[in-house]
Amino acid sequence: MEWLEMHNVEYGECIVLGGHHNDLLMVDCGSTNRKIREGEIDFRSYVDPALLNRYDGFSNRAFLLTHYHRDHLCGMREILEKRPGWFSTCYLPCTPADENGKALLLDFSLIAYAFMTRRTGYGQVNTAAVKIFFQTMRALLGGKLYALGEGDRFLFDDVEYEVLWPKRIGFVFEEAFQEISEELNVMLSSPFLPDCVRDFADLKEDFCKAYLEMCDHSPVREADVAHTTAILNRIDDLIPILQKQPVALDICEYLEKPLVREAYSEQINAAGIIFQNVRKHQATCDDILMTGDAPAEVIDSILDFLYSDYYILKAPHHGMESGWSTHFLELNPAHILISNGESPAGGKISPKYAELSGVKHCTNCSACAWYQTTGCSCNRVSTCYDQERPGLALRCPGNQKGFGGERHLPCGIYVIGPSALRGCLCD
């Protein structure tokens, strides 16, 4: 990795790793905000043309989606729809299954997909996983598509990366979510239900089985995507009838419960991709831990696979308290990436990140408790060891007036917004 650029998309995420061979890896691209306050630009207009134009000249572009939430994927969908073939490779998270082989997240998604006439709370009742393999395969125009899970590896810029999470089989779903899944399937199992509902229940099982098998192949095979899509097409034919059944009202009412939506949303976060580089010998500037929106419990469960130090740590879940792990203090990251912004759906950046000695790179300070209390960037008292002479981060060329945005900063990390490219000072 030669450089890293993190885009200010408000409450969302878009991080781009640049290689030495005119290649790039974009990790997530989405936002809950329709408008980016910096520059007062519509998010979709920022993606196209600004984002696409910035990286048009690269010969090999890959995309990795950590999990299926709007604030990580809506920009990806925009690119796939408007510029088919722009990405040559895409990596998507596999759907995890429990010890009995039940894909509870996918099962929930398919029920919501079939019965909800209106996808309210897009970020929480998100059914993107149902169709995304078909949509992505079609937009790649012959490119490679991979479903990633624990133990899988991929190459970027001659560096090997390993997926630490999620487990494919034996994934432990939260007890509350297991109960929700069971309740939904009880609603669909009454012997007094009409044939169309029983047909849906059977097709749902077939779809989940085919989906799991599709994710088992690397790369994903077009024939498997076609088979899974054919089953989904049969479900689509049933939907107009299903939504007229009395049980549909019961299911929709249940899905709309705040506790159900929250449990589903949190389970999607907990099933997201976490990956790091494979360290061959000593520590290098390629040492990076990308965490998606993983909750602290997931971070704690993979401690045995983590290094004792990192060059870059991506703060999980937009730097909020829900993703903070006390073990971050032991990882000694030289640089911490925090992508957050102003949004009713979001939360504040945990002040605990300011306690880390590494340099923080934040997209903006509107959700930062430290900034709101002190009125300045926490990096004004941070030491940067990437400079020729280690010293205060505020002496970095990227934090000086007149910085033109060229990719020559000592750390190689840049925060980009619609109006400017800057270093690590958020104020």
Residue 122 has pLDDT above 60, yes or no: no
pLDDT at 306: 97
Under DSSP, the state recorded for 292 is T
- Whether omega before 219 lies within 30 degrees of 0, making that bond cis, reads yes
Q: pLDDT by residue (tens digit) across 5-15? A: 999 999 999 99
Q: How far apart are CA 323 and CA 349, in angstroms?
A: 10
Question: Model pTM?
Answer: 0.95
Residue 376 has pLDDT above 80, yes or no: yes
pLDDT at 403: 65
Q: How far apart are CA 364 and CA 318, in angstroms?
A: 11
Q: In terms of DSSP bridges, do strands 12-18 and 391-392 run parallel, antiparallel, or are they unpaired?
A: unpaired
Residue 243 domain boundaries: 95-131+172-270
Q: How far apart are CA 170 and CA 405, in angstroms?
A: 46
257 is a domain residue: yes
Q: What is the mean pLDDT of residues 286-299?
A: 97
Q: In the structure encoding, which two tokens stand for residue 216, read together?
A: 């088992």
210 is a domain residue: yes
Residue 369 has pLDDT above 80, yes or no: yes
Mean pLDDT score across all residues of the chain: 92
Q: In the structure encoding, which two tokens stand for residue 42, read together?
A: 């519509």
pLDDT at 406: 63
Q: What is the mean pLDDT of residues 152-158?
A: 97
Q: pLDDT by residue (tens digit) across 241-276? A: 999 999 999 999 999 999 999 999 999 999 999 999
pLDDT at 123: 44
Write down how long the chain is.
Answer: 427
List, in sequence order, the alpha helices (H) in 246-377. 246-255, 258-270, 296-301, 328-331, 369-374
Task: For the sheet with 89-93, list strands across it.
Answer: 144-148, 89-93, 60-64, 23-31, 12-18, 3-7, 413-416, 421-422
Contact 73, 29 (CB under 8 A): yes
Tell me the percentage of the chain whose pLDDT exceeds 90. Answer: 77
How does 24-35 read in b/e, with b if 16+ C-beta sit within 10 Å?
Answer: bbbbbbbbbbee
161 is a domain residue: no
Locate tokens 């997931």: which residue? 298
Residue 128 has pLDDT above 90, yes or no: yes
72 is a domain residue: no
Contact 12, 341 (CB under 8 A): yes
Residue whose C-alpha is closest to residue 379's, from 338, 323, 407, 324: 338
Which three-class secondary structure state does DSSP give residue 97?
Answer: strand
pLDDT at 344: 72
Give the residue, 3 or 375, on which the prediction is more confident: 3
209 is a domain residue: yes
Q: In the structure encoding, which two tokens stand for residue 376, read together?
A: 């300045």
Q: What is the mean pLDDT of residues 9-32?
A: 96
Q: How far apart are CA 392 and CA 423, in angstroms?
A: 13
Which three-class secondary structure state does DSSP give residue 162?
Answer: strand
In total, how many domains does the chain have? 1
Residue 405 has pLDDT above 70, yes or no: no
pLDDT at 13: 97
Q: How far apart are CA 132 and CA 345, in angstroms?
A: 24
155 is a domain residue: no
Kindly calculate the radius of gyration of the chain based on its CA atoms and give it in whole angstroms: 22
Q: What is the mean pLDDT of residues 187-211?
A: 96
Contact 96, 30 (CB under 8 A): no
pLDDT at 104: 98
Q: pLDDT by residue (tens digit) across 225-244? A: 999 999 999 999 999 999 99
216 is a domain residue: yes
pLDDT at 119: 54
Q: How far apart are CA 194 and CA 137, in angstroms?
A: 35
Most confident of 63-67, 115-119, 339-343: 63-67
First to last CA, the chain: 27
Q: How far apart are CA 193 and CA 195, in angstroms?
A: 7
The alpha carbon of residue 293 and the mean position of all alpha carbons in its chain are separated, in whole angstroms, by 7
20 is a domain residue: no
